[in-house]
């Protein structure tokens, strides 16, 4: 065997690959890393699946899971209900919001802390900004009530009452026939 053959045998012979073994000191073997990641993910999925087997869950666990799904939809639907209530009966809505304005600030902080803890990573400043904007909105309620009354008052006015006189004979005949 020649010199080159002996060199290849030293580097790659006997089931070894000295070049690959040396390279793995400086760079992770991508194939082995992928296999380790696959094994870790498979183990995590097996553990996760084991926690949620339906056979081991009792009525209390199912009840708690159901209750944990209620707050977010209830808050979303409740907020939409407030918008609808504000449009349907602004005076009723204003009275309820005036009552909310009387809630002491420490209680708002407590509510904000509970909601922040439940939904995670919410900031106190957002809650305080919401309270300030709510007060600004409440200050605009009288103007909104006046505007709604003016709009409601327009229902009694018909176009014929305000129609300017016309020298169109067909239009005059039509108006005479309607009254």
**Nearest Cα to Cα of residue 107 among 127, 121, 136, 126:** 127
Query: pLDDT: is 42 or 2 the higher one?
Result: 42
In this predicted model, which residue has the larger pLDDT, 156 or 103?
A: 103
64-122 pLDDT, tens digit per residue, is 878 878 888 898 899 999 999 999 999 999 999 898 888 999 999 998 888 878 776 55
CA distances from 72 to 64, 66, 131, 162, 164 (A): 15, 12, 20, 51, 56
For residue range 36-71, what is the model confidence (pLDDT) as tens digits? 999 999 888 888 777 666 556 788 878 887 887 888
CA 103 → CA 44, 73, 111, 134, 154, distances in Å? 47, 24, 11, 12, 38
**Is the confidence at residue 26, as pLDDT, over 60?**
yes
- Residue 69's pLDDT is 80
pLDDT at residue 23 tops 80: no
pLDDT of residue 104: 92
Q: What is the pTM of this model?
A: 0.35
């Amino acid at each position: 065997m020649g010199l080159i053959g002996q060199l290849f045998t030293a580097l790659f012979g006997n089931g070894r690959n000295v070049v690959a073994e040396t390279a793995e000191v400086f760079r992770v073997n991508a194939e082995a890393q992928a296999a380790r990641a696959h094994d870790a993910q498979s183990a995590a999925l097996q553990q996760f699946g084991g926690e949620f087997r339906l056979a081991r869950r009792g009525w209390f666990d199912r009840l708690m899971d159901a209750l944990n799904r209620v707050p977010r939809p209830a808050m979303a639907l409740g907020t939409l209900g407030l918008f609808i209530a504000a449009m349907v009966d602004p005076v009723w809505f204003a009275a309820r919001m005036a009552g909310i304005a009387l809630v002491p600030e420490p209680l708002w902080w407590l509510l904000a802390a509970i909601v922040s803890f439940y939904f995670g990573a919410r900031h106190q400043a957002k809650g305080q900004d919401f309270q300030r904007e709510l007060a600004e909105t409440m200050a605009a309620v009288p103007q909104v009530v006046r505007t709604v009354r003016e709009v409601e008052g327009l229902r009694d006015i018909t176009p014929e009452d305000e129609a300017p006189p016309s020298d169109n004979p067909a239009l005059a005949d039509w108006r005479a026939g309607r009254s």
